[in-house]
Amino acid sequence: MIAVVCRDCVLRSCALGKGLTHCAQCSNFPCQELVDFSNDGLPHHSEVLDNVRRVRDVGIEAWMAEQEKRWRCPNCGDAIDWYATQCAGCSASLSISFSAPENLV
């Protein structure tokens, strides 16, 4: 389901239609669609504008490296996800800033 939603995303279609690979390359950043997306109530969408600004500031490669580090367990290095409170690899408690939306619990 997620892959279908992302594939049919209006933001992705907009960027591709402009010959861009991501919103950070757009001269119209931040557009209303992106602002609305970041304010749609899903906690992980609230970081979108800051993430795109960061990509503009440091470049996509540096941002990706930051994200790779951010989304790893600080104890064992396994990948973690947005709403994890415990690492699946080593059971370490994780400090997170988001709570799972009620429809995902």
- Domain range list for the chain: 2-70, 75-105
Whether cis (ω within 30° of 0) applies to the bond prior to 43 is no
DSSP state of 64: H
| Chain segment 22-58, per-residue pLDDT in tens | 999 999 999 999 999 999 988 888 889 999 999 999 9
Task: Please name the residues in contact with 17: beta carbons below 8 A apart, sequence gap of 6 or more.
Answer: none
**Angstrom distances, CA of residue 101 to CA of 4, 18, 19, 69, 105:** 20, 33, 34, 24, 7
pLDDT for the residue 17: 94
pLDDT at 7 over 80: no
Q: What confidence tens digit (pLDDT) does each residue in 72-92 have? A: 998 999 999 888 889 999 999
